[in-house]
Amino acid sequence: MKNVKAVVFDLDGVIVDSERLYEEAGEIVVRKRGVSKKITKKILASLKGRRLADIWSYLKDEFDLHDTVSDLASEHSSEFFRLVNTKLRMMKGSGIFIEKIKDSYKLALTTSGSLEYVQRLRKKFPGVKSFNCVVTGNEVKKGKPDPEPYIITCKKLGVKPKETIVIEDTPNGVRSAKAAGCICIAVTFTFAKKQLKEADYIADSFNEVKKILGVMNGN
């Protein structure tokens, strides 16, 4: 396949090692309300890749929280940004990979996170400035696993979904990309291969992603 024109990245768990910080911030918000029940791994897995408002809509019911979804999401963001400032790191190989392909493809970032979050990361990590367009959770009516985020991204880039590679790390993200008609490479940074089997390709590192792109373009 030689007609790939764009590479679209999910953000959390693909470019930055932020999933553990999201979880830590969520636990802080729940504990502040005196909830002894833990957010289980099963619950966390089902929510990964979703927008913050969707996550807290679920957790509000699960833990019988009396705050509004908006207030819970806002508090989570504050705790998360505090952790980002001190603990956030790039995923291994992500910055180098972006630098290597930025002149060969249109690049986009499609995240369930907020525009404020992306703006903070652009200041912290210069490589995040390399994208031709960014689509955040603020811009969509339905978040992942709905296809809307990637449909909007392709329209912004001016490419067809079938010309677009999406790099994702969660089942919800893979489903979103595939439902939009994109080609999906899933990286095993957050979930095991068996949980990402809906993707077209699965890679354990950005070196493997680079090889897959090379094969697809006949290199």
Do 144 and 200 lie in a common domain? yes
Do 124 and 192 lie in a common domain? yes
Over the range 40-50, which residues count as b (16 or more CB within 10 Å of their CB) and which as e? eeeebeebbbb
Task: Using the 3D structure, point to which of 40, 64, 87 is the last residue of a domain.
Answer: 87
Provide the domain count of the chain. Answer: 2
Predicted pLDDT of residue 38? 80
pLDDT-based confidence at 219, cuts 50/70/90?
low
Q: What is the pLDDT of residues 87-98, one digit of tens each?
A: 999 999 999 999
Predicted pLDDT of residue 151? 98
Cβ count within 10 A of residue 181: 15
pLDDT over 80 at 105, yes or no:
yes
Do 73 and 162 lie in a common domain? no
Is 1 inside a domain boundary? Answer: no
Q: What is the pLDDT of residues 18-55, one digit of tens each?
A: 989 989 999 999 999 998 888 888 898 888 888 899 99
Which residues have a Cβ under 8 Å from the Cβ of 63 and sit 6 or more positions away? Answer: 30, 33, 35, 37
**Calpha distance 60→71 (Å, rounded):** 11
Is 12 inside a domain boundary? Answer: yes
Domain enclosing residue 121, as ranges: 6-17+89-216
Do 133 and 32 lie in a common domain? no
Do 70 and 136 lie in a common domain? no
Do 203 and 183 lie in a common domain? yes
Task: Using the 3D structure, point to which of 49, 67, 87 is the last residue of a domain.
Answer: 87
Q: What is the pLDDT of residues 60-73, one digit of tens each?
A: 999 999 999 999 99
Three-state secondary structure call for residue 168:
strand
Cβ count within 10 A of residue 192: 9
Sign of the dihedral through C-alpha 194, 196, 198, 202? negative
Task: Using the 3D structure, point to which of 54, 69, 87 is the last residue of a domain.
Answer: 87
